[in-house]
Structure 1
Amino acid sequence: MLYDLTVVQFSTMLSNLSVILDKGAAFAESKKIDVDALLTSRLALDQFNLIRQVQISCDAAKLSVARLTGKADSAPKHEDFETTMAELQARIKSVQDYLAGFSEADFDGAEERKVVLPWFEGKYLLGKDFAQRFAIPNFYFHVSTAYAILRHHGVELGKMDYLGAIPFQDL
């Protein structure tokens, strides 16, 4: 279950985030706007800019899966140097490639695994609580904020850009 809730969902949403960024870049080009203005934009002064929202989305996906599977040291290292849409797209691809290496079997015991977060010293969460109460909501917060930054600046995005393809079936 945690495999589907994390790897499958994170991979899908990172694909959607990639499309959203492509639409942001196309918007900037069509409107003759410097794309850097979008990349460094934020919704509020005390929030991170678009670049950082994408970086954190990627980190949340890779590190959550790494922690849940007990493979915290296996996650790709990213130095947060990205300054362009192309570099952000490369980071998304790197994380998607990493996530593609996991299977359901990697999550055996994950629900009861103790997950330690470095910024909560002396504390841990069980894997199921980590996934449901922190990892998944945190990931969606940053993806949603990236979407909102671009939407705020007039990029023509809709709910389906955020949700992506939905596998409806005929009745």
Structure 2
Amino acid sequence: MKWRRGLWSLVKFVLFAAAIVSVVSWYHSRNMPKGTAPALVAPDINGLPINLQAMTSKGPVLVYFWATWCGYCRVVSPAVSELAEDHQVITIALQSGTPEEVATYQQQHNLNFRTINDPQGALSASWGLQVTPTVAIIDREGRVSAVTSGMSSKWGLKARLWLAD
């Protein structure tokens, strides 16, 4: 009987923690676009063109807002890099220096994803970004199907991509 009370206490704690995390994520992403994703056409840090709307015709796209100075991004970025091997990923480096500095950071941390540099934060602001890291999943129709801020796992992001497909 005592173990049941302990188990019930654990279940209540996990549900309460999940609710808090969900509310905080919603609050941080409340200004992100709903409905159709904003146009995103820009060169990556290597000068190659990226066109979000063209990419969506091939399936969902994960758009990842991050920064070299962001502590949580050091945990989320490797998961996004792994997802970029099998999924369409665009990343936006917010106020992280020159394209060369961002490229050097990515090499040093073994991050293999295409990145648009946003040195002044104008692109991120046009998306309503409040906090890094933030991930938006854009579906085949070009609609924002999910937004999450803060810590995310590879499997959580993969599930959101799967649901958008």
Q: TM-score, normalised by structure 2?
A: 0.26
Tell me which protein shows more helix as a share of its residues. Answer: 1
Tell me which protein shows more strand as a share of its residues. Answer: 2
Q: TM-score, normalised by structure 1?
A: 0.26
